[in-house]
Copies of this chain bind each other. A is one copy, B any other.
Amino acid sequence: VVRTRTPLSRTRVFAAAVAVADVDGLAHVTMRRVASELGVEAMSLYHHVANKEALLDGLLEALMDEVDESVAAVEAAAPEPDWRRTLRRRFLTARSAMLRHPWAPQLITSRTSVPASVYGYYDRVLGTMVDGGLSYHLAHRGLHAFGSMALGFAQELFTPPTGEDGEDDGQAEDEMAAMADAFPHLAAMVASEVHAAGDAVLGWCDSQTEFEFTLDLLLDGLERASTQE
């Protein structure tokens, strides 16, 4: 068997971690699994990362590198006229990177401390607001208000049933009826939204649209607060 003799390195370790997370999810990112991906024993990793915490920090750092790169490319291509449009585009760019790595929100919210790259990102968000004329005080509140939206994801607590799993027997209707009983307002809302969407049952709840709506609510609110200061 021809073994690649490329020596291990931090970058190779983190790249392997990203690959495992992309394919099998965050739960499968274990020392043993990442090592086996590199054709090596788990214990070898400890020569390059201190422990599993450090592995996850590196995973997040690799993700942030990707986000920063996307953002830099978009912002180099064309300027935006004001801080609101600049941030809006930046957050949506970050979002597109996050959507490529569905494990990202889970990873970020599970971390107790966060690598420097995340601080760097928020530092630049803050800089954009201050350069746009917001006071440090209001920009500080803006940072908190954006929260994870600055990185492109909302903390949705539940994903409403899409109805796209093809259970064709009576099961689905029974469930629906029980659901309508227990959660009358949610049921009425779904009915109303589906009707408005003109029988486009799929996609009655478009998370991209909802994300942008919430983001604009926050951006407009901050702008308003700033002119009232």
* A interface with B by C-beta (< 8 Å): 105-106, 108-110, 114, 116, 118-120, 122-124, 126-127, 130, 136-137, 139-141, 144-145, 147-148, 150-151, 154-158, 182-186, 188-189, 192-193, 196, 205, 207, 210-211, 213-214, 217-218, 220-222, 225
- With A119-B158, A147-B157, A185-B126 as contacts: A106 and B114 at CB distance below 8 Å: no
The answer to whether A217 and B222 touch across the interface, beta carbons within 8 angstroms, is yes
By the criterion CB–CB under 8 Å, are A186 and B122 in contact?
yes
28 pairs, A vs B, C-beta closer than 8 Å: A108-B157, A109-B109, A109-B157, A114-B158, A118-B158, A119-B158, A120-B182, A123-B182, A123-B185, A136-B189, A136-B192, A139-B189, A140-B189, A141-B213, A144-B154, A144-B156, A144-B207, A145-B210, A145-B214, A147-B155, A147-B156, A147-B214, A155-B155, A217-B217, A217-B225, A218-B218, A218-B221, A221-B221
Chain B contacts for A155, CB-based, 8 A: 109, 147-148, 155
CA distance A87 to B226 in the complex (A): 25
Q: Which residues of B contact A126 (CB under 8 A)?
A: 185-186, 189
Whether B186 and A123, one on each chain, are in contact in the complex, defined by CB atoms closer than 8 angstroms, is yes
**Chain A interface mostly helix, strand, loop or mixed?**
helix
* Shortest Cβ distance from residue A130 to the other chain B in the assembled complex, whole angstroms: 6
Most chain B beta-carbon contacts within 10 A, residue among A158, A210, A225: A158
- The contact of A110 among B106, B137, B213, B221, by CB within 8 Å, is B106
* Distance of A183 Cα from B154 Cα, bound (Å): 25
Q: A136-B193, A196-B137 are in contact. Are A145 and B221 (CB under 8 A)?
A: no
* Min CB–CB distance A84 → chain B (angstroms): 14
Q: Which residues of B contact A221 (CB under 8 A)?
A: 217-218, 220-221
A144 to chain B, nearest CB (A): 4
Tell me how far the C-beta of A69 lies from the nearest C-beta in chain B, rounded to whole angstroms: 19
**Complex contact A186–B119 (CB within 8 A):** yes
